[in-house]
Amino acid sequence: MTQQHPTQASRRALMCLALSAGLLGACSTVPPVASGMASNPDGTVTTFHRKSSGSLGAFDGPVVWTQKSMPWNGKTVVAVAAPQAGTTLHDPQTHAILSVLSRDGKPAQTFEPPLGLPWPLQVGKTATTQHKVTVHASSRTVDLTVQWKVESWGDVTVPAGTFKAYKIVTTNQLGETEVRWVSPANNLLLVKRHVERSAAYPQGAGVLDAELLSVKKPGG
Q: Give tens-digit pLDDT for 108-166.
A: 999 999 999 999 999 999 999 999 999 999 999 999 999 999 999 999 999 999 999 99
CA dist 176 → 11, 55, 108 (Å): 56, 11, 19
Q: Are residues 165 and 60 in the same domain?
A: yes
Q: Are residues 65 and 135 in the same domain?
A: yes
Q: Which long-range contacts (CB under 8 A, 24 or more apart) does 64-71 make?
A: 67/40, 67/41, 67/42, 67/43, 68/42, 68/43, 69/42
Q: Are residues 105 and 21 in the same domain?
A: no
> pLDDT tens across 182-203, in order?
999 999 999 999 999 999 999 9
Rounded CA gap, 171 and 173, in Å? 7
> pLDDT tens across 59-104, in order?
999 999 999 999 999 999 999 999 989 999 999 999 999 999 999 9
The number of distinct structural domains making up the chain is 2
Q: Which of these, 136, 191, 199, 113, lies nearest to 159 by C-alpha position?
A: 191
Q: Which residues lie below 8 Å from residue 15, measured CB to CB, with a gap of 6+?
A: none
* Better-scored residue on pLDDT, 179 or 15: 179
Rounded CA gap, 42 and 219, in Å? 11
Q: Are residues 26 and 92 in the same domain?
A: no
Torsions phi, psi of 11, nearest 5?
-65, -40
Torsions phi, psi of 47, nearest 5?
-120, 130
Q: 159 lies in which domain range?
A: 45-216
The alpha-helical segments, DSSP class H, found in the chain are: 6-28
